[in-house]
Amino acid sequence: MRALDEIAPPALALLEYDGVPAGVAAADRMLKRAPVSLIRAGTVQPGRFLVLLGGSVAAVEESYAERGAPLDAILLPDAHPALAPALAGARAGAQSAAIGLLEGATSASLLAAADVVLKTTPVGIVELRLADGLGGHAYAIFDGEQADLEVALDAGAARLGPRLTQRALLPRLDDTLRALLAAGSRFADCASLAPDGAEWPPATAKGQG
């Protein structure tokens, strides 16, 4: 067995099942059908099961044929190389003043939109989150020039179609929020930040402890 989080395979497939038994059974069939790598698999909210496969285009396509009836699924035969690290939890702090956000109703649809965005516009991906802590939704944060982000959000929204839940463009991201997002967007894990000039905590208390 080899760890695969740092390897970007040529092809990716993400399959989203509306139940654990169906997801586990499908994963078993797909792994037996072709020599693909099981990058990640497991339960996500709300009671769904995600399977992420990677490998050569031919192997992933053959494996994908055994997917059964997922709630949603996407096969990316030429996945953008930035997707694999993002799926593994890698984060890149926003480098530009502007950021854009896309949210989709399913993880598979959002991954497809992120692939389109990265391939068609010169923007970077800051964070990609799938399902957990999001009620089954998924979202991505992109950074770049404002004009490029406008095009990127339009392209991503078009790919999402009816599965688009929200989008936002922030032309000038607040520096405190930028620092928080660079560390991750989960509420339970975020740090408390007090920018210069904040009324609380009092200046005398900031240096204590």
**Alpha carbon separation from 20 to 16, 39, 42, 43 (Å, rounded):** 10, 17, 8, 7
For the segment 112-155, what is each residue's pLDDT rounded down to a tens digit? 999 999 999 999 999 999 887 788 899 999 999 999 999 999 99
Model confidence pLDDT, tens digit, residues 13-61: 999 999 999 999 999 999 999 999 999 999 998 999 999 999 999 999 9
Please, what CATH class does the domain formed by 11-76 belong to?
alpha beta
CATH topology agreement for domains 11-76 and 90-185:
yes
Q: What is the model's pTM? A: 0.85
- Interhelix angle for 146-160 vs 107-120, to 10°? 140
All residues at 6 or more sequence positions from 201 whose CB lies less than 8 Å from its CB, including other chains: 194
Tens-digit pLDDT profile for residues 155-203: 999 999 999 999 999 999 888 888 888 777 776 666 666 666 666 666 6
24 C-beta neighbours (distance < 10 Å), count:
16
The domain 90-185 is classified under which CATH number: 3.40.50.300, 3.30.70.1710, 3.30.2090.10, 3.40.50.460? 3.30.70.1710
* Mean confidence (pLDDT) of the chain: 88
CB 144 within 8 Å of CB 152: yes
Contact of 61 with 11, CB cutoff 8 Å:
yes
